[in-house]
Chain A
Amino acid sequence: MIQTDLCIIGAGPVGLFAVFEAGLLKMRCHLIDALPQIGGQLSEIYPKKPIYDIPGFPEVNAQTLVDNLRKQIDPFKPTFTLGERVDGLTRNDDGSFVVTTSEGTQVHCKVVVIAAGLGSFEPRKPELQNLEHFEGKGVVYMVKDPETFRKRRLVIAGGGDSALDWAIHLSSIAERVTLIHRNESFRGAPDSAEKVFKLAHEGKIDLLLSANLQAVNGNGVVKSVSVVDKDKSVKEIETDYLIPLFGLSPKLGPIAHWGLNLDKSAIEVNTVDYATNVEGVFAIGDINTYPGKLKLILCGFHEAALMAQRAFEFVYPSQKRSFKYTTVNGVNAF
């Protein structure tokens, strides 16, 4: 089990900066994020966009801000669990917590800090009846190990870069790859689109354009998918796997069931220390709400600083907190 002082859920800009504020108070941090990389929305959604309202930076590229935050917190040696979504939260008799992830990773901590933005990024799912029943039984939303698909029949749905790239890559591994796309053409990278058309021409990919998924069929496991084409005629394609690749969208997920007071999909906090209604659990950044809340990165940074002051009392209950400026004390690395 991973041992830490603060378990921070979400490795976006606010979660990262919380490591710095905690570090100044000698508290160690472990971060968990559902995405395989740090940076949250900044790295996943708009890495190349300029941000203009970070104090001291007239203009900063989103990914550059993430890279700088990473550099800023390095002295405090944060540890990370990436690509796993938090699932469970249990409290021990001594008031400490155990956070469990989707992959079974456990983090033992004194304080939980939820800095999860708008939730964890999860795959967008097509609206098909009974789709959930087939998840993990032939329906998969991401390709983790291409070897899983060796000599199997696959249907990939989607028209973006990841659908194109995986169709190309898996066409040399799988027995048969069928790519289904709603439109006549692809808006993904032109090189990839060209390659898909070439592979289709060579008979290495079955390409179904202007077609939509209509149903997934099977008895316990996926046996076939039904596809409706532009003439409204329905075609059944036998397959071992259906891989819908429609990008990612944020969901609050299991955190919604942790007994926290929620307002819509945001966690209610007080503005003294950004504590939630559950003792020892804080929420900072876009995930929280309070009167006058502004979803700005700079507000999240402020919230992180105040949260850390209060978290100190949970981590070092017998010590007196003394406030020190970095200009006086510097940054004392662990």
Chain B
Amino acid sequence: MNITFTVADRTGQTQTLELPDDINLSLMEVLKASDYPIAATCGGMALCATCHVEVLKGADQLLAPADAELDMLDTLPNATPQSRLACQIRLNERLQDAAFALMDTTLS
């Protein structure tokens, strides 16, 4: 099965991504592979926040963030109640029809 969701970059330009649901990747890895400007300094340990995204739609479908992610989000100047770290979101059917916006400015 394929899943589709949308991603808005820092300029607001939105693109729909369609991916098979059986590839074992995080949303951060998918965004990097799709050439979005994400540094992913820590490689996916919820320790650098360079994959900071805002969930514009579908937040309730996602698994709740763990403590490590909440701790990191708490330190960010521009975090909102919809903020997540893409490295902590697994690519699966929960992402169907969700919408994300990139929030980190490291590489933009």
- Are A250 and B106 in contact (CB-based, < 8 A)? yes
**A88 within 8 Å of B by Cβ?**
no
B41 near A118 with CB under 8 A, answer yes
Q: Which residues of A contact B39 (CB under 8 A)?
A: 118, 250, 265
Report the interface size class on chain B.
20 to 34
B-contacting 9-mer, from A25-33, A92-100, A156-164, A268-276: A156-164
Report the separation of the CA atoms of residues A213 and B48 in the bound assembly, to the nearest whole angstrom.
22
Task: Kindly list chain A residues whose C-beta atoms are within 8 Å of the C-beta of B47.
Answer: 45-46
For the complex formed, measure the closest distance between the CB of B48 and the CB atoms of chain A, giving whole angstroms: 6
Tell me if A195 counts as interface (CB < 8 A to partner B). no
Whole-angstrom distance between the Cβ of B38 and the nearest chain A Cβ: 10
Chain A residues with CB under 8 Å of B49's CB are: 124, 247, 249
Contacting residues of chain A (232-255) with chain B, CB-CB under 8 angstroms: 244, 246-247, 249-251
Residues on A with C-beta less than 8 A from B74 are 159-160, 182-183, 186-188
In the complex the two chains form, is A126's CB within 8 Å of B107's CB? no
- Provide the bound-state CA to CA distance between A175 and B70, in Å: 33
Interface residues of A in 161-191 (CB under 8 A from B): 182-183, 186-188
A45 and B42: CB pair below 8 A?
yes
Q: Does B12 contact A (CB under 8 A)?
A: no
**C-alpha gap A117/B41 in the complex (Å):** 9
Q: Which residues of A contact B78 (CB under 8 A)?
A: 126-127
Contact of A124 among B43, B45, B71, B76 (CB under 8 A): B76
Residues on the B chain within 8 Å of A182, using CB:
74, 79
Within 8 A of B (CB), among A120-145: 124-127
A264 close to B71 (CB less than 8 A):
no
For the side of the interface on A, what is the size category?
Answer: 20 to 34
CB pair B76–A45 under 8 Å, yes or no, is no
Closest residue of B by beta carbon distance from A162 = B75
Contact residues of A: prevailing secondary structure: loop
Of the listed residues B43, B48, B79, the one surrounded by the most CB atoms of chain A closer than 10 A to its CB is: B48
Give the CA-CA distance A28 to B96 in the complex, in Å. Answer: 56
User: Inside 8 A of B50's CB, which chain A residues have their CB?
Assistant: 249-250
The smallest C-beta distance from B3 to any residue of chain A, in angstroms, reads: 27
Chain B residues with CB under 8 A of A246: 75-77
Residues of B within 8 A of A45 (CB): 41-42, 45, 47-48
A41 proximal to B (CB < 8 A): yes
**CA–CA, A124 to B106, complex, Å?**
9
Q: How far is the CB of B24 from chain A (nearest CB, A)?
A: 18
Minimum CB–CB distance for A42 against chain B, Å: 11
> Which of B45, B75, B76, B107 is the one whose CB lies under 8 Å from A46?
B45
A67–B41 CA distance with the chains assembled, in angstroms: 21
B: residues with CB less than 8 A from A are 37, 39, 41-43, 45, 47-50, 70-71, 74-79, 104-107
Known: A127-B105, A249-B106. 11 other contacts (CB 8 A): A45-B48, A118-B41, A126-B77, A127-B77, A127-B78, A186-B74, A244-B77, A246-B77, A247-B75, A249-B41, A250-B50
- 5 interchain pairs, CB-CB under 8 A: A124-B49, A160-B74, A244-B77, A250-B41, A264-B37
